[in-house]
Amino acid sequence: MKTRFAPSPTGLLHIGNIRTALICYLYAKKSRGELLLRIDDTDTQRSKAEYADKIQEDLKWLGLNWDEIAFQSKRFDKYDAAVEKLKADGRLYACYESAEELDVKRKMQLSRGLPPIYDRAGLKLTADEIAKFEAEGKTPHWRFKMADGAIAWEDEVRGSTKFETKNLSDPILIRENGAYTYMLPSTVDDIEFEITHVLRGEDHVSNTAIQIQLFEALGGDVPKFAHTAMVKSKEGKLSKRTGSAGVGELCDDKILPMAVNSFLAKVGTSDSIELRPTLDDLVAEFDINKFGRAPTIYTIDDILRLNVKALHELSFEDAKPYFAGLKLTDVKHDFWLAVRPNLENIDELYEWWTICNGSVKPIIDDADFAAKAAELLPDGEWDETTWKSWADAVKEKTGRKGKELFMPLRKAITGMEHGPELKVLLPLIGREKVLERLGRA
């Protein structure tokens, strides 16, 4: 079994692209197969090397490693050979209409209540007409001649799927400027790399109908297909051009990879959307038959909810790169375990680091109470028992208890009304800093 993820480096990956990549990865791993990363860079004007590099960087950040990589820009000889075969077999023909002329034809057909299907005028051209166009300097675009009849396949998500070729235009495989469209290079590569399963978005369904005939015309085995429902933002369809839900943005915002993976692997399926610790867990639960056909609405809040859970389970070793990103040095394991349960995002770590190791502007509601509490601070080495013994002494001295006791102390010591338990914070802050903050009363 072998599948492929085939992004075009004409922009940055968004959530919809990553969902497709993740599904391809999980399918390959569950089937003990291989994943090809194919960079579809035949559009030499819009494709950029920096986008190709960023695509690979984003996939690695998510842990979606591939077994093989290919660049279409290095395989034009393969596509040229396929063109010659299709021409020789009478399946590729030249057309000389301009974009404007084709648009007029479509509008006329629609005005008459007809489907806007290409009329195959290119097939009716005489040798003299072709010579005249060439003498005028016109260059043709080339269309694939679809065979009559129905095209049907059993889709692993959509179920039985069928297209009548009478409702499809002969697709353009080569533009006037000689550039290949998506159809031919993709089919040639699927054949050459022996792709057995093609998993992609539902927006490619009509492409699949065309490509099935291309597979057959080129003598290749037709792979199995699965078309997943689209992921949409509340504003509409996601796209690289609008930059919506960019993976780079999630990384910059320090969203953890497994929060993204857990959401995208489960959204649109019958499984609950909950955090899974590792990609292996997602592989174990993966089943393409769990995916429904309804479009999925995406919001960042869906991922943020999982991100909090992922952050609370993040190990000390895995958190170290984030320490470096926040320019925090000498972070100790006990500090991480103390503050981790209260983090909503990783940037809050810097705030708690400052509270424990830097200066804080204490909030003093009652100077007399703070002064009395300072007098009762225990001496010696502090540990997690220190808070209880100190709080008991302050309670006995002042008569305060509950929130009236601990909240003024928390605000004075940390400058915050929330956070980790004081029993774990006190040993991290230390007696000297606590005394100094209470002493400001």
CATH number at residue 396: 1.10.10.350
Long-range contacts formed by 431-439: CB under 8 A, 24+ apart? 431/377, 431/378, 431/379, 431/382, 433/360, 434/377, 435/374, 435/377, 437/360, 437/362, 437/412, 437/413, 438/362, 438/370, 438/371, 438/373, 438/374, 438/377, 438/412, 438/413, 439/371, 439/374
Contacts of 110 (CB under 8 A, 6+ apart): 116
Same domain? 82 vs 203 = yes
Mark whether 280 and 411 lie in a shared domain.
no
Of 300, 330, 357, which one is at a domain's C-terminal end?
A: 357
- Are residues 283 and 191 located together in one domain of the fold? yes
**Six-digit token pair at 54?**
């960023």
Q: What is the CATH number of the domain that holds 81?
A: 3.40.50.620
Question: Tell me, what's the pLDDT at 245?
Answer: 54
Q: Is residue 290 part of a domain?
A: yes
Q: Is there a single domain that holds both residue 95 and residue 18?
A: no
Whether 273 and 394 map to the same domain: the answer is no
User: What is the share, in percent, of the chain residues with pLDDT greater than 70?
Assistant: 97
| Partners of 141 in the β-ladder | 95
Task: Give the structural domain span for 37.
Answer: 1-86+148-162+179-313
**CA–CA dist 31, 209 (Å, integer):** 25
Domain-located, residue 330: yes
Q: In terms of domains, do 211 and 286 share one?
A: yes
- Residue 242 has a pLDDT of 38
CA–CA gap between residue 248 and residue 14 (Å, rounded):
8
AA letter at 156: E
428 with 414, same domain? yes
The reported pTM is 0.88
Are 403 and 299 found together in one domain?
A: no
CA distance 328 to 286: 38
Q: How many domains does the chain have?
A: 4
Tokens matching residue 73: 């820009």
Residue 362 lies in a domain: no
**Is the residue at 72 inside a domain?**
yes
441 residues of the chain, pLDDT tens digit each: 999 999 999 999 988 899 999 999 999 999 999 999 999 999 988 999 999 999 999 999 999 999 999 999 999 999 999 999 999 999 999 999 998 989 898 999 888 888 899 999 999 999 999 999 999 999 999 999 999 999 999 999 999 999 999 999 999 999 999 999 999 999 999 999 999 999 999 999 999 999 999 999 999 999 999 999 988 776 544 343 333 557 777 877 789 999 999 999 999 998 999 999 999 999 999 999 999 998 887 778 888 899 999 999 999 999 999 999 899 988 999 999 999 999 999 999 999 999 999 988 999 989 999 999 999 999 999 999 999 999 999 999 999 999 999 999 999 999 999 999 999 999 999 999 999 999 864
For residue 9, tell me if it sits in a domain: yes
Closest CA to 410 of 358, 370, 350: 370
User: Do residues 34 and 55 both lie within one domain?
Assistant: yes
> Is the same domain home to 283 and 198?
yes
Does residue 377 fall inside a structural domain?
A: yes
411 in a domain, yes or no? yes
What is the pLDDT at residue 146?
A: 97
Please state, in angstroms and rounded to a whole number, the distance separating the CA atoms of residues 119 and 356.
75
Do 61 and 204 fall within a single domain?
A: yes
Q: Is residue 244 part of a domain?
A: yes
Q: CA–CA distance from 38 to each of 30, 149, 191 (Å)? A: 20, 32, 13
| 243 in the same domain as 141 | no
